[in-house]
């Protein structure tokens, strides 16, 4: 059978050596390398040699179909639907590197069902079988590339980036996917520049470059085919756009505008490229690829003439000699030639093998159909489509190659860093890997220490719209700006933020409080009005001192019980009042110290009952004095009341009423141990909650009512002619008691914490002290310091003089 022909549509441009694309030339070498390797392999297409033709497809879309027409016609004249080929069959056409060129050629080849294999970047439009029935792609999909780019941003904490996207279907898809990934991961876009898919048009568009230069984003993502990407980079170099980190989908042509690389415009760029294993045989092939072995390669001759000073015959582009000995492509400067196989060349290699394997399977099928070898078998190119559509094989690197777009799986990515050293020493280093299918948190590995950053950065570049909000502050959105642009606002009182860039502050629990920096919650100290506190010690000392003083007064009265001043004021009631006041002064001790359920109940109950007894005793004394001076008729009711000591029954009656009130209080809503976490910063104050505030105020109201009654009775007897009449003193004591507790209520409701307890204790001491001081101090003064006035004849003489 005739030798099939593979057609590569992406060779070098005719013309000066400086104008051709290095990547395209390496694609051609990869194409030739694969052809030669297959022809040497006895297991693929035995007894068949693959031939090839190389055609160039210009970037100008008007000339795109010229090369395929020449290939199909087989002559230098384009004649549609006619071929002058007599001895060779075209098995398939390999096209690239831009998707637009493949699409234009694909629409033509679909008319003839010619197999077409694209080695450029994967494009979803090219997988549409309704438009391109016989077009296949070797490049894997970039489904997870946006996720990888965003992971890179998150790794370096870049949240403010710019996007430069090609104006095509792939660009629209990648832009949508990128924006979605960025929104999910809180990365914001400063600007989006859509570049027309025409390199020449972009070369004169300086508005985009100006937008990039004035942007505050230090990171810019470039996405596009290699050829278009090269056009963008031309402008970046010409405008000297430094201090930017460029993140790209794949490498560009290293030979584009060599001069500006000296200025480090792209130094530090980060490049995502599909991972592929290097073929050692390919490097050996490049090392031995020279003009003497391939004399028909005119571009090779031009390279030897340019770099190695070889003599060149201009008419036929042949090397005449005078070359440096033992030279090879490996000796070319790194900014002019890459020895490693590029991603695009790797796809070319796989495309050639895909066609070869398909031809091999088709030959086997023909042999099975014609086992006797009767007649000559004619192979029509469209018959190859069935085999290409189902083709999958393992290449020399052990990687599975699939041409079916539905089965074309994502691959892992290598991440490269461009080291832009002086002219001739430029290189790129692999600094990480992205595994799309790895578990979350393990998708990306980076060697940060190997990265050389862009010109102008001596450390890890920052690319944020707003500087980070440190712990103690939260982010506050700026109206009309993206979420990444914000103000930093101090956290409210008792709220913290313990991490950088927190959206909300967190309130400390009741048991904790915020430190002064508001970045940490500290454990509050549990406190109460303790005996060890200065205030507690002072109140305790006062309570014990007044209690001892009252006991002393009681002792004085007991010792001088036979004297007129003691007998004249109802001796029994006096003793009851002094004993009650002694316990009233000791009552505050229940308020001091750590509260517990028992002390909380005893505080209010003891206070209520003791003061009720004291006030009812004063009321009984006041009524006794009034009634004593109203006895004018023997045998009258008032006289009977005085003789029967009926006023003394006021004490148990009033106390019983108070006990009923307290019982109702304790049965419905008794006092309980409570905590106050807000009154004193940094402290939790343990206090006794009154339970029912109505019951508490009822108790106080009852006390004040009794005090008012006692004051009224004492006031009525203030002018009675008795030397030892204590009515005036009792009225003063009730006035003090009433004033203390009326003042207590507003102060009680305006203070908090331990001061509430201290205020109640102080009120108890002052009101009790008022009773003791007003009623008993004058009497003690007479008993102890004026004993001559405490005799019966002095009383009588006083009465007679009146």
Segment 97-140, tens digit of pLDDT = 778 888 888 888 888 888 999 988 888 888 888 888 889 998 88
pLDDT at 798 over 50: no
User: pLDDT at residue 93 above 50?
Assistant: yes
Identify the DSSP state of 489: E
Is 505 inside a domain boundary? yes
Mean pLDDT on 29-40: 92
Residue 335 lies in a domain: no
Q: Domain check: are 660 and 678 in the same one?
A: yes
* pLDDT tens string 738-758: 888 888 888 888 888 788 889
Contact 508, 521 (CB under 8 A): yes
User: For residue 137, what is the enclosing H or E element?
Assistant: strand 135-137
What count of other Cβ atoms lies within 10 Å of the Cβ of residue 321?
7
In a domain, 459, yes or no: no
pLDDT of residue 566: 79
Buried b (16+ CB within 10 A) or exposed e, 380-411: ebebbbebbbebebebeeeeebbbebeebebb
Q: What's the pLDDT tens digit per position in 179-227?
A: 999 999 989 999 998 877 665 444 545 667 778 888 889 999 988 766 6
Q: What is the pLDDT of residue 15?
A: 45
52-80 average pLDDT score: 72
Token readout for 379 is: 């192979």
What is the pLDDT at residue 260?
45
In a domain, 416, yes or no: yes
Considering the chain, what is the average pLDDT of its residues? 80
Q: What pLDDT, on a 0 to 100 scale, did the predictor assign at position 586? A: 92
Neighbouring residues of 82: CB distance < 8 A, sequence distance ≥ 6: 73
Residues sharing a CB contact under 8 Å with residue 230, sequence separation 6 or more, in sequence order = 21, 199, 252, 253, 256
Asked if residue 157 is part of any domain, the answer here is: yes
Q: Are residues 703 and 556 in the same domain?
A: yes
Quick one: pLDDT at residue 322?
74
Question: Measured in Å, how far apart are the chain's first and last C-alpha atoms?
Answer: 161
Helix (H) or strand (E) holding 685, with range, is strand 683-689
Of residues 353, 303, 481, 314, the one with CA closest to residue 39: 353
Number of C-alpha atoms within 13 angstroms, CB side, residue 668?
12
Please check the confidence at residue 654 and state whether its pLDDT lies above 50: yes
pLDDT > 70 in the chain, percent: 80
The answer for residues whose C-beta is within 8 angstroms of residue 116's C-beta and 6 or more apart is 92, 93, 94, 95, 102, 105, 106, 109, 132, 134, 135, 136
The pLDDT tens digits for 379-403 are 677 888 888 888 888 888 788 888 8
Do 261 and 220 sit in the same domain of this protein? yes
- On whether the CB atoms of residues 103 and 210 are closer than 8 A, the answer is no
**In the block, which residue shows the tokens 């009101």?**
767
C-alpha span between 578 and 569 (Å, rounded): 13
**Structure confidence by residue, pLDDT tens digits, 481-518:** 888 899 999 999 889 998 888 889 999 888 888 988 89
pLDDT at 799 over 50: no
Whole-number Å distance between alpha carbons of 638 and 222: 113
* pLDDT of 738: 85
Q: Do the beta carbons of residue 457 and residue 246 sit within 8 Å?
A: no
Q: Is 647 helix (H, G, I), strand (E, B) or coil?
A: helix
pLDDT score of 14 more than 50: no
**pLDDT given at position 108:** 84
Per-residue model confidence (pLDDT) at position 12: 35
Q: How far apart, in Å, are the Cα atoms of 233 and each of 134, 199, 304, 590?
A: 34, 11, 27, 86
In a domain, 577, yes or no: yes
Enumerate the H helices of 493-590 as residue ranges.
Answer: 534-559, 564-567, 571-586
* Residue 467 counted as domain residue: no
**Are residues 657 and 539 part of one domain?**
yes
Residues 547 and 661 in one domain: yes
The reply to whether 563 falls in a domain is: yes
| C-alpha to C-alpha distances, 91 to 46, 114, 604, nearest whole angstrom | 16, 8, 106
Nearest to 387 by CA among 423, 420, 429, 358: 358
Least-confidence region, from 313-317, 431-435, 513-517, 764-768:
313-317
Please choose, from the candidates 348, 349, 362, the residue with its C-alpha nearest in 3D space to the C-alpha of residue 391.
Answer: 362
pLDDT for the residue numbered 474: 93
In 3D space, the residue among 294, 330, 324, 289 whose CA is nearest the CA of residue 309 turns out to be 324
Q: How far apart, in whole angstroms, are the C-alpha atoms of residue 125 and residue 191?
A: 27
Rounded Cα distance, 153 and 245, in Å: 11
Q: Is 69 exposed, middle or buried (0-12, 13-18, 19+ CB in 10 A)?
A: middle
For the segment 564-604, what is each residue's pLDDT rounded down to a tens digit? Answer: 877 766 788 889 999 999 999 999 999 998 889 899 989 88
Domain span at residue 226? 145-248+252-277+412-450
The mean pLDDT value for 294-305 works out to: 82
Half-sphere exposure of 112 (CA within 13 A, CB side): 22
Q: Are residues 733 and 599 in the same domain?
A: yes
Q: Could you tell me which residues are beta bridge partners of residue 271?
A: 248, 416
C-alpha distances in Å from residue 765, one per residue of 610, 734, 745:
13, 14, 16
Q: What is the mean pLDDT of residues 66-76?
A: 72
Contact yes or no for 625/727 (Cβ under 8 A): yes
CB-CB contact of 529 with 591 (8 Å): yes
pLDDT of residue 146: 92
Categorize the per-residue pLDDT at 778 as very low, low, confident or very high, splitting at 50, 70 and 90.
confident
Same domain, 613 and 510: no
State the SS3 of 279-317: CHHHHHHHHCCCCCCCCCCHHHHHHHHHHHCCEEECCCC
Does 746 lie in the same domain as 676? yes
The predicted-structure confidence for 602-644, as pLDDT tens digits, reads as follows: 988 898 999 999 988 888 887 777 666 555 445 455 555 545 4
What percentage of the chain has pLDDT greater than the value 90?
19
Distance (Å, whole) CA 694 – CA 679: 23
CATH number at residue 440: 3.40.50.2300
Q: What is the pLDDT of residues 436-457, one digit of tens each?
A: 888 988 999 999 999 988 877 8
How many domains does the chain fold into? 5
- Give the number of other CB atoms < 10 A from CB of residue 437: 10
* Number of helices and strands in the chain (H, E): 22, 26
Instruction: Name the phi and psi angles at 507, rounded to 5.
Output: -75, 135
| Residues 594, 597, 600: CA angle, nearest 5 degrees | 70
Q: What number is the average pLDDT over the span 140-165?
A: 91
Q: Are residues 22 and 51 in the same domain?
A: yes
Which phi and psi (to 5°) does residue 500 adopt?
-80, 140
pLDDT at 717 over 70: no
Using CA atoms, how far apart are residues 5 and 3, in angstroms rounded to an integer?
Answer: 6
- Is 224 in the same domain as 177? yes
In this prediction, residue 318 carries a pLDDT of: 75
Q: What is the model's pLDDT at position 45?
A: 87
Distance CA 371, CA 760 (A): 116
Q: Whose CA is closest to 111, among 72, 166, 153?
A: 72
Tell me what pLDDT residue 9 has.
Answer: 46
From 365, 304, 764, select the one nearest 580 (Cα to Cα).
764
CB 683 within 8 A of CB 525: yes
Contact 738, 754 (CB under 8 A): no
- Please determine, for residue 154, whether its predicted confidence score (pLDDT) is greater than 90: yes
């Amino acid at each position: 059978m005739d030798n099939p022909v593979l057609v590569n549509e992406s060779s070098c441009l005719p013309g000066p050596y400086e104008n051709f694309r290095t990547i395209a030339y390496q694609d051609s070498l990869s194409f030739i390398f694969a052809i030669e390797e297959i022809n040497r392999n006895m297991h693929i297409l035995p007894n068949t040699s693959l031939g090839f033709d190389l055609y160039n497809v210009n970037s100008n879309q008007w000339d795109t179909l010229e090369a395929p027409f020449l290939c199909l016609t087989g002559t230098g004249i384009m004649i549609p639907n006619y071929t002058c080929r007599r001895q060779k069959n075209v098995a398939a056409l390999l096209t690239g590197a831009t998707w637009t060129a493949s699409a234009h050629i694909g629409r033509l080849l679909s008319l003839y069902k010619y197999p077409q294999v694209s080695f450029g970047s994967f494009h979803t439009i090219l997988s549409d079988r309704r438009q391109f029935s016989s077009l296949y792609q070797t490049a894997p999909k970039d489904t997870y590339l946006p996720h990888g780019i965003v992971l890179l941003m998150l790794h370096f904490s870049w949240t403010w980036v710019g996007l430069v996207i090609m104006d095509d279907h792939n660009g629209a898809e990648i832009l949508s996917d990128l924006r979605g990934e960025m929104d999910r991961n809180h990365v914001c876009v400063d600007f989006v520049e859509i570049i027309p898919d025409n390199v020449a048009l972009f070369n004169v568009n300086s508005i985009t470059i100006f937008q990039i230069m004035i942007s505050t984003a230090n990171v810019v993502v470039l996405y596009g085919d290699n050829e278009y990407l090269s056009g963008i980079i031309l402008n970046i170099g010409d405008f000297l756009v430094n201090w930017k980190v460029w993140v790209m989908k794949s490498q560009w042509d290293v030979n584009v505008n060599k001069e500006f690389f000296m200025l480090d415009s792209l130094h530090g760029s980060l490049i995502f490229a599909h991972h592929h294993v290097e073929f050692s045989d390919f490097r050996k092939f490049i090392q031995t690829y020279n003009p003497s072995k391939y004399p028909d390669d005119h571009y090779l001759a031009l390279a030897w003439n340019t770099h190695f000073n070889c003599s060149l015959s201009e008419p036929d582009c042949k090397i005449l000699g005078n070359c440096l000995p033992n030279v090879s492509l490996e000796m070319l400067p790194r900014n002019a030639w890459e020895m490693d196989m590029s991603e695009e060349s790797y796809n070319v290699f796989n495309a050639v093998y895909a066609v070869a394997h398909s031809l091999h399977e088709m030959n086997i099928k023909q042999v099975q159909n014609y086992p006797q070898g009767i007649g000559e078998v004619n192979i029509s190119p469209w018959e190859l489509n069935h085999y290409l559509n189902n083709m999958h094989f393992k290449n020399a690197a052990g990687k599975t190659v699939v041409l079916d777009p539905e089965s074309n799986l994502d691959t892992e990515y290598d991440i490269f860093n461009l080291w832009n050293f002086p002219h001739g020493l430029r290189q790129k280093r692999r600094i990480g890997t992205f595994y799309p299918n790895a578990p979350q948190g393990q998708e990306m590995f980076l060697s940060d220490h190997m990265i050389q950053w862009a010109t102008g950065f001596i450390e890890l570049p920052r690319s944020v719209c707003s500087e980070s909000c440190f712990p103690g502050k939260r982010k506050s959105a700026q109206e009309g700006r993206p979420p990444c642009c914000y103000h930093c606002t101090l956290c409210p009182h008792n709220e913290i933020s313990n991490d950088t860039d927190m959206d909300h502050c967190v309130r400390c629990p009741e048991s904790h409080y915020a430190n002064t920096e508001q970045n940490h919650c500290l454990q509050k100290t549990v406190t109460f009005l303790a005996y060890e506190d200065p205030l507690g010690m002072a109140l305790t000392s006062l309570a014990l001192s007044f209690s001892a003083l009252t006991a002393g007064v009681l002792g004085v009265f007991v010792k001088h019980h036979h004297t007129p001043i003691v007998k004249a004021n109802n001796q029994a009631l006096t003793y009851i009042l002094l004993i009650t006041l002694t316990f009233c002064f000791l009552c505050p001790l229940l308020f001091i110290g750590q509260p517990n359920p028992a002390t909380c109940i005893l505080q209010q109950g003891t206070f209520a009952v003791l003061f009720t007894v004291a006030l009812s005793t004063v009321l009984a004394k006041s009524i006794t004095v009034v009634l004593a001076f109203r006895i004018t008729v023997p045998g009258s009711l008032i006289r009977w009341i005085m003789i029967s000591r009926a006023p003394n029954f006021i004490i148990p009656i009033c106390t019983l009423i108070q006990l009923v009130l307290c019982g109702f209080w304790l049965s419905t809503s008794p006092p309980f141990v409570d905590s106050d976490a807000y009154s004193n910063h940094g402290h939790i104050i343990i206090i006794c909650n009154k339970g029912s505030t109505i019951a508490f105020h009822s108790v106080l109201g009852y006390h004040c009512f009794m005090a008012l009654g006692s004051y009224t009775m004492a006031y009525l007897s203030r002018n009675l002619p008795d030397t030892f009449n204590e009515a005036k003193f009792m009225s003063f004591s009730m006035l003090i008691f009433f004033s203390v507790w009326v003042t207590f209520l507003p102060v009680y409701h305006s203070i908090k914490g331990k001061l509430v307890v201290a205020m109640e204790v102080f009120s108890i001491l002052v009101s009790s002290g008022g009773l003791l001081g007003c009623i008993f101090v004058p009497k003690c003064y007479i008993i102890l310091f004026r004993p001559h006035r405490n005799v019966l004849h002095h009383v009588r003489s006083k009465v007679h003089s009146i």
